Amino acid sequence: MSGPDMRSARLAMLLALISVLLPCSAAAEFDVTNVETRLVNGTYVMDAQIDYDFSERALEALDNGVPLTVEVHIQVRPEDDWIWDTSLVDQRLRYRIRYKPLSDRYLVSQLPGETGRIYVTRDAAVAALGEIKNLQLLDQTRLDPERPYEVQIRASLDIEELPLPLRPMAYLYPSWKQASAWTKWPLTP
């Protein structure tokens, strides 16, 4: 490589390194905005609403055909339990949102499986991703009627499900580390 070519290569490498090390815009967050439980035929059922405010990087990847997987972690515990006590329910739900470029549509599916619902716009698909309806939690007989219980929920983007070439960047950029805080909601009949 000659002098000018070597300098161009070094400059390109330096710019790539700077783009990795510089902080990007603040990561958008996820937020569990509503959880409602009800008793149906002796089983507690839950509806939840999660607002997914994906970062610009995640939305750009989605629009370029990279599927995004989110995990919703749900626990049911007595309100006064210690953190190391066993949960009555410890369930992880996994959802995927994917852009289908040939049809110019978005597919939202619950994993495992590739079937799901099709949406015309990204906003509609992201909104549908955040709706959990009629999820069976546990049988009423497992609860002590004298103790108060709560549902705890946390949602996060699963960067381990990203394509392998994208994962190193996802580990380095804060905009990929998206999750909600643990939220607590009363388990009410």
pLDDT digits (tens, 9 = 90+) for 91-127: 999 999 999 999 999 999 999 887 899 999 999 999 9
* Predicted local distance difference test score (pLDDT) of residue 27: 46
Query: For the chain, which ranges sit under pLDDT 70?
Result: 1-28, 189
Q: What is the pLDDT of residues 64-81, one digit of tens each?
A: 999 999 999 999 998 887
- With beta carbons less than 8 A apart as the criterion, state whether 157 and 68 touch: yes
| pLDDT at residue number 4 | 52
Residues 98, 46, 183, 121, Cα dihedral to 10°: 30
Q: What is the pLDDT of residue 44?
A: 95
φ/ψ of 142, rounded to 5, equals -80, -10
Instruction: Judge whether 63 and 99 are in contact, CB under 8 Å.
Output: yes
Q: How far apart are CA 44 and CA 89, in angstroms?
A: 11
Residue 107 has what pLDDT? Answer: 96
CA–CA dist 86, 133 (Å, integer): 25
Q: Cβ(118)–Cβ(132) under 8 Å?
A: no
Of 127, 101, 160, whose CA–CA distance to 33 is shortest?
Answer: 127
Per the CB < 8 A criterion, the answer to whether 68 and 61 are in contact is yes
pLDDT score recorded for residue 146: 87
Q: How far apart are CA 75 and CA 55, in angstroms?
A: 27
Tokens of 102: 């040939």
* Per-residue model confidence (pLDDT) at position 168: 92
Element (H, E) at 48: strand 43-52
